[in-house]
Amino acid sequence: MTAHLPALQVLVPLGCAPLCLLLRRFRTVTWLVFLLAALSSLACAVLLATRVDDGPLHYEMGGWPAPYGIEFVVAGFNTPVLLVVSVVAVVAAVYARRSVGDEVDDRRAPLVYTCLCLTLTGLLGLTVTGDVFNAFVFLEISSLSTYALIAMGRRRRALLASFRYLVIGTVGATFVLIGIGFAYAVTGTLNMADLADRLTDLDGNRALYAAVVFVFVGLAVKMAVFPLHAWLPAAYGEAPSAVSTFLAAASTKVAIYVFCRFAFTVFGAGLVFTTMPVGEVGLLLAALAMLVGSAAACFQRDLKYLLAWSSVAQIGYIVAGISLATAAGVSAGYLHVINHAVIKGALFGAAGLLVLRLGSARLDDLAGLGRRMPWTFAAIVVTGLGLVGVPPTAGFASKWALVSALLDAGAWPVLVAVLASSLLALVYVGRIVEAAWFRDPPADLPADQPRAPVSMVAAVWALVLLSVYFGIDASLPGGLADAAAAALLGTGGA
């Protein structure tokens, strides 16, 4: 049983998806099925994380040996991602029951849980797979179910947001497919470890350069790296709150992990960062993403759009760390993947609470509500300070790691962008605080509003407390991030 954990990690959510569809008459049961899928993936992820200390785990799908069959690999570089995705899935599941019930009509609610199961399957599969074509298939499973989820947003704009994401997302995934085709053409293998072995003999092959470019441009769409981020604000802003909580925390993070996996353990750091200027391009785009994302966030009128633009900037921090291709840089990138997932999950969750109470998350509608909804706004402020990077929040820990990695590498222009982006983050978090506490509430505000559901508040506060804990004691995420960086850069890879 325990030998099959890498497969169960993916197969349980996959099996739960059709179950949700079959049981669609019973809305609460479908929610329970999704919660069980999330809990089981968390259990698998925790068990796997405790086992990788002795070295990477290889699982042969269907008993076919590695270069021919599809292989699942669990090692230091993907356990942090598995943990992040499954923890966020559990929180989103607890959160979803009341949130989906409020924002999506009853007939469609079971379909939301079906698609959430499929998204979870895709993201986890993308994380554990050791086969490049299998990675493409999981990428499309998660993407297709994401398009459907975004389209179930409560406003009609969600439809166009979803359609636009579908078009650009499919172009991105197809670019990845072209890149895989080039890599396959020059090596004749699809297994990641086998590819890495065979590519070392192919120095200076132009088809290989094309493969690197196509794969990374395609992944950049999924990572929402500037200037390929255009789909993200509308997609996260219009999706149902439970969905944006899950996606904002998990989906771009998995794409970032896949980027690391390809860069370090398939193409190799020598080819990607020394022969080809991926590191320089990454640093440049990351710096632009920080400035543009944070600046655009300052001008948003809707809280969910503001948070989505802030995600564009925060992805810039992560990409900057990874583009350095040093142990400190990659570790800082992973640390921020973990911390940002927790912080942004909590913030989108809090925005969902506001949508539930007010029917909107426009900043103008938040006027004077700080005293009416102290818990929700306290959550927003605590995690918002994490976005800025104020000590002792989780955001400070990862930003500190990133700044010291940038200092070591002497990347001064990027450091300036990090500081400027942090100041801009202070502005946009300040706008929320200003609206909530320093403006007068509208006179016609009904005196007794319905209370926020306990399950949603508990889910949001679980993430808030986790982010505070990671700020005070960063040993758990820091240890995971260091192990990931060591597995990617050292010989302990695939």
Rounded to whole angstroms, the maximal C-alpha distance in the chain is 73
> From residue 103 to residue 142, what is the string marking binding to other proteins with x (rule CB under 8 A)?
------------------------------x--xx--x--
Indicate the residue among 179 and 321 with the shorter CB distance to other proteins: 179
* Least CB distance to other proteins at residue 184 (A): 7
Burial class (CB in 10 A: 0-12, 13-18, 19+), 212: buried
* Least CB distance to other proteins at residue 163 (A): 5
* Least CB distance to other proteins at residue 358 (A): 19
**Residue type, position 360, single letter:** S
Decide if residue 47 touches other proteins (CB under 8 A).
no
Indicate the residue among 121 and 162 with the shorter CB distance to other proteins: 162
Decide if residue 376 touches other proteins (CB under 8 A).
no
Q: Residue count at the site for other proteins (CB under 8 A)?
A: 25
H helical segments located in 2-131: 5-22, 27-51, 79-103, 109-128
* Least CB distance to other proteins at residue 175 (A): 9
Applying CB under 8 A, the span of 178-186, 261-269, 351-359, 420-428 interacting with other proteins comes to 178-186
Decide if residue 346 touches other proteins (CB under 8 A).
no
Decide if residue 167 touches other proteins (CB under 8 A).
yes
Q: Which of 25, 107, 156, 451 binds other proteins (CB under 8 A)?
A: 156
351 neighbors 304 (Cβ within 8 angstroms): yes
C-alpha span between 48 and 351 (Å, rounded): 33
Q: Which of 184, 209, 400, 437 binds other proteins (CB under 8 A)?
A: 184
Indicate the residue among 36 and 178 with the shorter CB distance to other proteins: 178
173 neighbors 139 (Cβ within 8 angstroms): yes
Decide if residue 148 touches other proteins (CB under 8 A).
yes
List, in sequence order, every residue forming a beta bridge with 74; answer none if it has no partner.
57
Decide if residue 226 touches other proteins (CB under 8 A).
no
Indicate the residue among 160 and 202 with the shorter CB distance to other proteins: 160
22, 150, 289, 359 from 233: Cα distances, Å: 33, 12, 13, 19
Q: Which of 178, 217, 358, 415 binds other proteins (CB under 8 A)?
A: 178
* Least CB distance to other proteins at residue 119 (A): 13
Applying CB under 8 A, the span of 89-97, 163-171, 262-270, 369-377 interacting with other proteins comes to 163-171
Site for other proteins in 427-486 (CB under 8 A): none
Decide if residue 419 touches other proteins (CB under 8 A).
no
Applying CB under 8 A, the span of 47-55, 167-175, 239-247, 446-454 interacting with other proteins comes to 167-175
Applying CB under 8 A, the span of 28-36, 106-114, 162-170, 360-368 interacting with other proteins comes to 162-170
Token pair belonging to 295: 């600046």
Sign of the C-alpha dihedral, residues 183, 189, 194, 199? negative
C-alpha span between 218 and 214 (Å, rounded): 6
Decide if residue 417 touches other proteins (CB under 8 A).
no
Decide if residue 10 touches other proteins (CB under 8 A).
no
319 neighbors 333 (Cβ within 8 angstroms): yes
The CA radius of gyration of the chain, in Å to the nearest whole number, is: 21
Sign of the C-alpha dihedral, residues 126, 130, 133, 134? negative
Decide if residue 202 touches other proteins (CB under 8 A).
no
DSSP string for 444-475 = T--SSPPPPPHHHHHHHHHHHHHHHHHHH-TH
Decide if residue 219 touches other proteins (CB under 8 A).
no
C-alpha span between 455 and 462 (Å, rounded): 10
Decide if residue 67 touches other proteins (CB under 8 A).
no
C-alpha span between 186 and 287 (Å, rounded): 34
Place of tokens 């699942």: 72
Token pair belonging to 32: 């329970």
* DSSP reduced 3-state for 362: strand
- Interface with other proteins (CB under 8 A): 133, 136-137, 140, 144, 147-148, 151, 156-157, 159-160, 162-163, 166-167, 170-171, 174, 177-178, 181, 184-185, 190
